[in-house]
Chains A and B, each alone.
Chain A
Amino acid sequence: MPEISYLEAIRQALWQEMKRDERVFLLGEDIGCYGGAFGLTHGMLDEFGPERIRETPISEATIVATAIGASLLGMRPVAEIMFMDFILLTLDQLANQAAKMRFMFGGRTTVPMVVRMPAGSGTGAASQHSQSLESVLMHFPGLKVVNPSTPYDAKGLMLAAIRDPNPVCFVEHKVLYKTKGEVPEGDYTIPLGVGEIKRAGRDITVVANNIMVMKTLHVAEKLSEAGIEVEVIDPRTLLPLDTQTIIDSVLRTGRLLVVHEACQTGGWAGEVIASVVGSPAFDYIDTPVRRLGGKDIPIPYNRGLEKIAIPQEDDIEQEIRAMVEGRI
Chain B
Amino acid sequence: MPVPFIMPKFDMDQEKATIISWSKKEGDFIKFDETVLTVETEKVAIDVPAPATGTLARILFKDGDVVPVTKVIAYVLKEGETLADLPKAQESQGTPSKPEVAPVSQPAIAPAAVTLHATPVAVRMAKEEGVDLAQVPAAGDRVTRGDVERFIAHQKTLGRVAIPATPAARRVAQESRVALETIAGSGPRGRVQAADVLASVKTASASTNGREAELVPLTSMRRTIAERMQQSFRESPHIALTAEVDMSEAESIRRLFNMQTEKQGQPRITVTALIIKVVAWALLRHPYLNASFHGDSISLWKDVNIGVAAAAPHGLVVPVLRNADRLGVSEINMQVTELAGRARENKLRLEDVQGGTFTVSNLGMFGIRQFRAVINPPESAILAVGSVVRKPVVVDGEDHVGVRPVLSLTLSADHRVIDGIVAARFLSDLVTGLESPSLLLY
Contacts and interface: CB of A to CB of B under 8 A. Distances in A.
B168 A283 contact: yes
B167 A283 contact: yes
Given A254-B194, A326-B193, A283 B171 contact: yes
Contacts of A327: 188
A326 B166 CA distance: 12
A282 interface: yes
Q: Chain B contact residues: over half helix, strand or loop, or mixed?
A: helix
B170 A283 contact: yes
B187 interface: yes
Interface string A290-328: 000000000000000000000000000000000000111
B176 interface: no
B169 interface: yes
Nearest to A282: B167
Given A254-B194, A326-B193, A284 B171 contact: yes
Contacts of A328: 188
Contacts of A287: 166, 193
A254 B188 contact: no
Contact of A326 (B167, B170, B188): B188
A284 B188 contact: no
Contacts of B106: none
A286 B195 CA distance: 9
A285 interface: yes
Interface string B150-182: 000000000000000011111100000000000
A286 B185 CA distance: 12
B166 A286 contact: yes
How big is chain B's contact interface, by range?
Answer: 10 to 19
Contacts of B186: 326
Contacts of A283: 167-168, 170-171
Nearest to A327: B188
Interface string A240-270: 0000000000000010000000000000000
A284 B168 contact: yes
Contacts of B193: 286-287, 326
B169 A286 contact: yes
Nearest to B194: A286
Nearest to B169: A286
A318 B166 CA distance: 21
B178 to A, nearest CB: 15
A254 B193 CA distance: 11
B64 to A, nearest CB: 21
A286 B168 contact: yes
A223 B290 CA distance: 67
Nearest to A328: B188
B174 to A, nearest CB: 9
A285 B188 contact: no
A72 to B, nearest CB: 49
A284 B187 contact: no
A134 B169 CA distance: 35
A287 B169 CA distance: 10
Nearest to A288: B166
Interface in B192-222: 193-195
A287 B168 CA distance: 9
A138 to B, nearest CB: 27
Nearest to B165: A286
A285 B187 contact: no
Nearest to A287: B166
A285 B171 CA distance: 10
Contacts of B171: 283-284
Contacts of A254: 168, 194
Nearest to B193: A286
Nearest to B168: A286
Contacts of B187: 326
A227 to B, nearest CB: 15
Nearest to A326: B187
Contacts of A282: 167
A283 to B, nearest CB: 4
Nearest to B174: A283
Given A283-B170, A284-B168, A286-B168, 19 more contacts: A254-B168, A254-B194, A283-B167, A283-B168, A283-B171, A284-B167, A284-B171, A285-B167, A285-B168, A286-B169, A286-B193, A286-B194, A286-B195, A287-B193, A326-B186, A326-B187, A326-B188, A326-B193, A327-B188
28 contacts: A254-B168, A254-B194, A282-B167, A283-B167, A283-B168, A283-B170, A283-B171, A284-B167, A284-B168, A284-B171, A285-B166, A285-B167, A285-B168, A286-B166, A286-B167, A286-B168, A286-B169, A286-B193, A286-B194, A286-B195, A287-B166, A287-B193, A326-B186, A326-B187, A326-B188, A326-B193, A327-B188, A328-B188
Interface of B: 166-171, 186-188, 193-195
Kindly list the 4 A-B residue pairs having the minimum CB-CB distance in the complex, ordered from nearest. Answer: A286-B168, A283-B171, A286-B166, A286-B194
